[in-house]
Amino acid sequence: MVNNSYYSQELHGPYELHDIGNLELEEGGTIRNCNLAYATFGTLNAAKDNAILVPTWYSGTNKIIEQVLIGKGRGLDPDKYFIIVVNQIGNGLSSSPHNTPAPGGMANFPRVRIGDDVRAQHKLLTEKFGLTSLALVVGGSMGAQQTYEWAVRYPDMVKRAAPIAGTARNTVHDFLFTETLVDAITSDPGFNNGFYQSPSDVREGLLRHAKMWAVMGWSTQFFQSGKYKALGFSSLDDFIVNFMYAYFSVMDPNDLLCMAWKWQRGDVSRHTGGDLREALGRIKARTVVMPMSSDMFFPPADCQAEWRLIRDAEFRPIETIDGHLALFGADPNALVQIDKHLTELLATKV
């Protein structure tokens, strides 16, 4: 374990922890007493048919989901729905390399797959809340990977699905990009094969990782139009240091690597021997696919290719110059579009 005050109730709460017991993983390891951190908004109705699940993206926690997507009058309205945001394994709040006691923590933390997260979440939702139906599963990026996995794995339980800025099967290009992020961290001599004394030993690796996120995460237009200045940063350097570095440098390197490994290998076609068409054909949820128009990770064309394989699905690109990181919510107009699509989806009878 490594002390890290970033992963705290003060910064990310309030959230609850639920111990789902030992989680046996697809890759063969086991997380003992796997804890899922989650936050809920709104009230579950008597029919238990107003529950919405929101899994988290890479580096994200329940807090940013709350800030960006949830609110009165929004698509995810706690006055109408019971919204459960579940932190993915490895994100620092749920069971993660940094908060797991030796010998199972740090670099010994086992390999986790998207499917493991979804099985763990299923256990939480059924055991803790007695849910048998989800009005909607919605998530961005790795949250989209989990959304697709939910819709394919539990087709009768998921009534609606909204994968935003993500794919059901990761692309070769995105796998490669993520590998460069991994390399940025692991190449830091202070990383010490994952057994650093403190995250600050890996500072330079974390900063390189953050800068590479800046390159692929936004878009050329975002920078060319000076959007980073409009967000209150005086220069490119100021933006890199006081936004990108500030955001990532406080995180735990092994936690990020746990998520990165999982992200690289997200693939619903593992259920069907590699047949993506067959896997997506299992989806019964009413689905709206929402890529970000300027996303360099998951360009609309890549999302569109999957959308074509989903029955009765809608393809609704979100127009924005914020690229993949429109997920951060800095483009209010992108949020308006997402809210509109979610509201319409939730109004659809299924």
Cβ neighbours of residue 165 under 8 Å, at least 6 residues apart? 140, 141, 144, 290, 291, 292, 295, 297, 298, 318, 324, 326, 327
Site for a copy of itself in 226-285 (CB under 8 A): 236, 240
- Which one of 14-22, 109-117, 215-223, 267-275 is the stretch in contact with a copy of itself (CB under 8 A)? 215-223
Only one residue has tokens 């010994």, namely 108
- Cβ closest to a copy of itself, residue 17 vs residue 215: 215
Closest contact distance (angstroms) between CB of 58 and a copy of itself is 16
183 binds a copy of itself (CB under 8 A): yes
224 binds a copy of itself (CB under 8 A): yes
Known active-site residue 324? yes
217 binds a copy of itself (CB under 8 A): no
Name the β-bridge partners of 55: 86
166 binds a copy of itself (CB under 8 A): no
Site for a copy of itself in 304-333 (CB under 8 A): 305
- Which one of 49-57, 222-230, 251-259, 338-346 is the stretch in contact with a copy of itself (CB under 8 A)? 222-230
Using CB under 8 A, which of 106, 142, 296, 335 touches a copy of itself? Answer: 296
Kindly determine how many residues on this chain lie close enough to bind a copy of itself according to the rule CB under 8 A: 35
Cis peptide before 163 (omega within 30 of 0): no
Give the separation between CA 197 and CA 71, rounded to whole angstroms. Answer: 40
Q: CA of 39: how far to CAs of 88, 149, 260, 325, in Å? A: 12, 21, 23, 23
Structure tokens at 38: 């989650």
211 binds a copy of itself (CB under 8 A): yes
- Cβ closest to a copy of itself, residue 158 vs residue 181: 181
- Cβ closest to a copy of itself, residue 86 vs residue 244: 244
Give the separation between CA 38 and CA 49, rounded to whole angstroms. Answer: 19
Determine which one of 201, 324, 331, 341 is catalytic: 324
Give the separation between CA 22 and CA 119, rounded to whole angstroms. Answer: 12
Name the β-bridge partners of 221: none
3-state helix, strand, coil in the chain (%, to 5): 45, 15, 40
Structure tokens at 158: 């998921």
Cβ neighbours of residue 211 under 8 Å, at least 6 residues apart? 240, 244
- Which one of 46-54, 134-142, 175-183, 257-265 is the stretch in contact with a copy of itself (CB under 8 A)? 175-183
175 binds a copy of itself (CB under 8 A): yes
Pairing, β 16-19 against β 35-41: antiparallel
Closest contact distance (angstroms) between CB of 303 and a copy of itself is 11
Q: Is residue 129 a contact partner of residue 257, using CB atoms and an 8 Å limit?
A: no
Using CB under 8 A, which of 132, 180, 200, 333 touches a copy of itself? Answer: 180
Sign (positive or negative) of CA dihedral 244, 68, 286, 322: negative
216 binds a copy of itself (CB under 8 A): yes
- Cβ closest to a copy of itself, residue 301 vs residue 347: 301
214 binds a copy of itself (CB under 8 A): yes
User: What does the binding site for a copy of itself look like in residue numbers (CB under 8 A)?
Assistant: 171-177, 179-180, 183-184, 187-189, 204, 208, 211-212, 214-216, 218-224, 236, 240, 296, 299, 301-302, 305
Residues marked as catalytic: 141, 295, 324
